Amino acid sequence: MNAHEFRRRGKEMVDYVADYLEGVEGRQVYPDVEPGYLRPLLPTAAPQEPETFEDIIKDVEKIIMPGVTHWHSPYFFAYFPTASSYPAMLADMLCGAIGCIGFSWAASPACTELETVMMDWLGKMLQLPAVFLAGEAGEGGGVIQGSASEATLVALLAARTKATRRLQAASPGLTQATIMEKLVAYASDQAHSSVERAGLIGGVKLKAIPSDGKFAMRASALQEALERDKAEGLIPFFVVATLGTTSCCSFDNLLEVGPICREEDVWLHVDAAYAGSAFICPEFRHLLNGVEYADSFNFNPHKWLLVNFDCSAMW
């Protein structure tokens, strides 16, 4: 495809996308297909001869769309809302065109710097404490992760390393393996499944704290678990508090849980994946009170802030 054809196909694609979204209400929200429906409809290996763009687009309607769950249909009420917007789609196109990699400042200065500035904008919109922001000095600040699941894993691994170093500094003979056997992470029984997965990948125990009548993690239940585990010689090192659980949008009590984590020298990660965007509204900001106790905080602009997947903001 040369630039001439790209201009033409690009305009066609924009029309296809706009038609899709304008007409999404008319499509069946959940597909009628059985698992494995797609494989028999496709060649077993990549074709040797190219196909025309028209034929490929026809295949999209014929074999892909019948297997798509239409998350942007007005009749979609499953899971959680996932963001999509025309400006974000245009931005994705530009990102694809620039096609840069941002692993260091020099790899693409604008890429690194724009991320830092936008993360500060978001942090200020949420009124995060100043220590979360990069500011003029450019120290600290947030980073974009692919997903909230990744953010939780990154936080857990960082907390594990921090705890391991602290314990080894106090008792130089301790091996990492001995320490890891004893490390325990905690989250409410309402936490997202990705928290349990982070514990599995990180090779540490994860314990579910029973939530109260409003599906919130409270001080008493957490304190009880910490005391029991410490008495057994285990080492609590990580707590995930959820602000807006995926199942029912309940809120762990950050003002109770935060001080306990600080007292016990336990890393507090706050997962506000989907409800986090709401804290931009002054009337909901109080639900974020206690974030000043957090070691790390995360929410997903790709859920409720008009940015297409994937964009998970982590500080």
Ligand X SMILES: *Cc1c(COP(=O)(O)O)cnc(C)c1O
158 burial via Cβ count (<10 Å: 0-12, 13-18, 19+): middle
The answer to whether 83 contacts ligand X (rule: CB under 6 A) is no
Give whichever of 182 and 186 is closer to ligand X, judged by the CB atom.
186
Q: Binding to ligand X by residue 273, rule CB under 6 A?
A: yes
- For the beta sheet containing 143-145, the strands, ordered from the edge strand earlier in sequence to the opposite edge, are 143-145, 312-314, 296-299, 267-271, 235-242, 183-188, 205-209
Tell me how far, at minimum, the Cβ of 246 lies from ligand X, in Å: 4
Choose one: 12-20, 106-114, 172-180, 239-247; the region binding ligand X (CB under 6 A). 239-247
CA atoms within 13 A on the CB side of 195: 27
Among 274, 279, 293, 315, contact with ligand X (rule: CB under 6 A) = 274
Q: Among 58-66, 123-131, 167-175, 241-249, which window interacts with ligand X (CB under 6 A)?
A: 241-249
Among 108, 147, 168, 223, binds ligand X (CB under 6 A): 147
Q: How far apart are CA 61 and CA 67, in angstroms?
A: 10
205 bridge partner residues = 184
Segment contacting ligand X by CB under 6 A, of 15-23, 144-152, 204-212, 256-264:
144-152
Report in angstroms the alpha-carbon separations of 93 from 14, 88, 90, 308. Answer: 11, 9, 5, 12
Q: Using the rule CB under 6 A, is 253 a contact of ligand X? A: no
Among residues 284, 283, 266, the alpha carbon closest in space to that of 274 is found at: 284
State yes or no: residue 246 binds ligand X (CB under 6 A).
yes
Does position 218 bind ligand X by CB under 6 A? no
Q: Is 149 one of the binding residues for ligand X (CB under 6 A)?
A: yes
Q: Pick the stretch among 2-10, 48-56, 230-238, 242-250 that binds ligand X (CB under 6 A).
A: 242-250
User: Residue 214: phi, psi to the nearest 5?
Assistant: -105, 25
Work out which of 21, 80, 89, 180 binds ligand X, going by CB under 6 A. 80
Q: Which amino acid is at 83?
A: A
Q: For 18, which DSSP code?
A: H
Is residue 271 a contact residue for ligand X (CB under 6 A)? yes
| Residue whose CB is less far from ligand X, 155 or 179 | 155
Where in the chain does DSSP place strands (E)?
A: 143-145, 183-188, 205-209, 235-242, 267-271, 296-299, 312-314
d(CA 261, CA 268): 6
The DSSP code sequence of 101-159 is --SSTTT-HHHHHHHHHHHHHHHHHTT--GGG--TTTT-S--EEES-HHHHHHHHHHHH
Q: Does residue number 300 form part of the binding site for ligand X (CB under 6 A)?
A: yes
Q: Does 223 bind ligand X (CB under 6 A)?
A: no
* Stretch 172-201 residues interacting with ligand X (CB under 6 A): 192, 194
Phi, psi of 96 (to 5 degrees): -65, -35
Sole binder of ligand X in the list 83, 126, 133, 148 (CB under 6 A): 148
Build a one-symbol-per-residue string for 11-50: x at contacts with ligand X by CB under 6 A, - elsewhere.
----------------------------------------
Cβ nearer to ligand X, comparing 16 with 80? 80
Q: Other C-beta atoms within 10 Å of 56: how many?
A: 10
- The span of 176-184, 205-213, 238-246, 288-296 binding ligand X (CB under 6 A) equals 238-246
List contacts with ligand X (CB under 6 A). 80, 147-149, 192, 194, 242, 245-246, 271, 273-274, 300, 312
